[in-house]
Amino acid sequence: MTSAYRIPGGLRAAAIAVAAFAGGMAVLVVFLTVSGFSVTTALQALWRGSFGSWDAFTSATLVRATPLVVLGLAFALASRAGALNIGMEGQFILGAIGATVVGLHLGDAAPMVAVSATLIAGMFAGMAWMAVPVLLRIRYGVTEVISTLLLTFIATAVVSWCVTGPLRESSGIYPQSDPIALAARLPRLLTGSRLHVGVFLALALSVSLAILFTRSAWGFRLRAVGAGPIAARVSGGIDTRRIIAGALLWSGALAGLGGAMEVSGVTYALYQNLSPGYGFTAIAVALLGRLQPLAIAVAGLLFGALEAGAGAMQRDAAVPAVAVQVVEAVVILIMIVVARRTSPA
């Protein structure tokens, strides 16, 4: 007797993500109607700004989706071990600072070396910023929810100091850094488009983590510690503190990588408000993807489309860009309900 066919966990999570997103869009329609906006005009503008043209899709949607996917993976990695990295925004900022410091001094290096060094510098900066919450949790039992979040405010102050002090551009007029070296910039994929090779890096990370989470001993230990740290330590002989510390540090490294990719692939310089809230939006992306790497890639694309289309919707239909937060809020509520009824595979 053959067993019933089961949909793979990653595909099921992706399907739930799409369904939740569709539910959010339905509520957006109701919101627009009640608020007196033209639903047709608003949705057409949203579509044009996200998927309506090849340029909108590549230069806006995919560019915005890339950091959301990377940071969503960072959150999922920590969550697998039962930790909550709420401060990815701060690690993103530190990664951008680290990438800028290195990228400014690599003008004579080969492009492959310069880009690699810039991205690695961002990863180390994000990991170093996460080392403080790890120490506080392992040594003193301070929950990382508090420490990572508070460090985000410090990171905001640090970047402000950098762009008005040691990293301020040569003329001293604007509160930003000089552009990083050409060799340290991620190559563009298309002529006339802002899309850079970081989108492939984000996809590769999604696939790699999907394999590691389900096909490696490290992934099993992460899941065991996340499911029950006491049982993992007593019955499984797993060093839970080491697993949690490693998951948080690598989560910080991925968030820092997101900041480095933003500087190396999009802005080419460091300035205040570099992130429009990627670190916080990525939490919603990870939850929508139910912590499944491949589903996070899908959720990141959907949220990237929302972020890209929000500006067009405000410009062409006079709908406030914050209206997309209605969709995000409804999506999270749907995922909370789903999480209570089912558990990720």
Q: What is the mean pLDDT of residues 270-297?
A: 89
Supply the mean pLDDT for the chain. Answer: 88
What percent of the chain is modeled with pLDDT above 70? 94
pLDDT top residue among 281 and 249: 249
What confidence category does residue 229 fall into, taking pLDDT thresholds of 50, 70 and 90?
confident
Residue 5, pLDDT above cutoff 60: no
Residue 3, pLDDT above cutoff 60: no
Where do runs of H (alpha helix) occur along 104-216?
Answer: 111-140, 144-164, 198-215
What confidence category does residue 2 fall into, taking pLDDT thresholds of 50, 70 and 90?
very low
Residue 342, pLDDT above cutoff 70: no
Predicted local confidence at residue 1, as pLDDT: 44
Name the strand (E) or helix (H) holding 255: helix 240-262
Taking the model in full, what pTM does it have? Answer: 0.90
Predicted local confidence at residue 312, as pLDDT: 84
Predicted local confidence at residue 263, as pLDDT: 96
What confidence category does residue 19 fall into, taking pLDDT thresholds of 50, 70 and 90?
confident
Residue 63, pLDDT above cutoff 90: yes
Residue 11, pLDDT above cutoff 70: no
Predicted local confidence at residue 69, as pLDDT: 97
Q: What is the mean pLDDT of residues 95-99?
A: 97
What confidence category does residue 79 fall into, taking pLDDT thresholds of 50, 70 and 90?
very high
pLDDT digits (tens, 9 = 90+) for 304-323: 998 888 888 888 888 887 78
Residue 345, pLDDT above cutoff 70: no
Q: Give the Cα separation of 340 and 209 in Å (integer).
A: 25
What are the distances in angstroms from CA 187 to CA 156, 191, 195, 199?
Answer: 28, 10, 9, 11
8-22, 50-64, 256-270: range with highest mean pLDDT? 256-270
Instruction: Report helix, strand or coil for 36.
Output: coil
Instruction: Report helix, strand or coil for 185.
Output: coil
What are the distances in angstroms from CA 15 to CA 18, 205, 282, 298?
Answer: 5, 20, 19, 9
* Token couple for 142: 């301070």
Predicted local confidence at residue 311, as pLDDT: 82
Predicted local confidence at residue 339, as pLDDT: 64
What confidence category does residue 331 fall into, taking pLDDT thresholds of 50, 70 and 90?
confident
pLDDT digits (tens, 9 = 90+) for 99-152: 999 999 988 889 999 999 999 999 999 999 999 999 999 998 899 999 999 999
Q: Give the Cα separation of 42 and 48 in Å (integer).
A: 10
* Token couple for 249: 């540090």
Residue 327, pLDDT above cutoff 70: yes
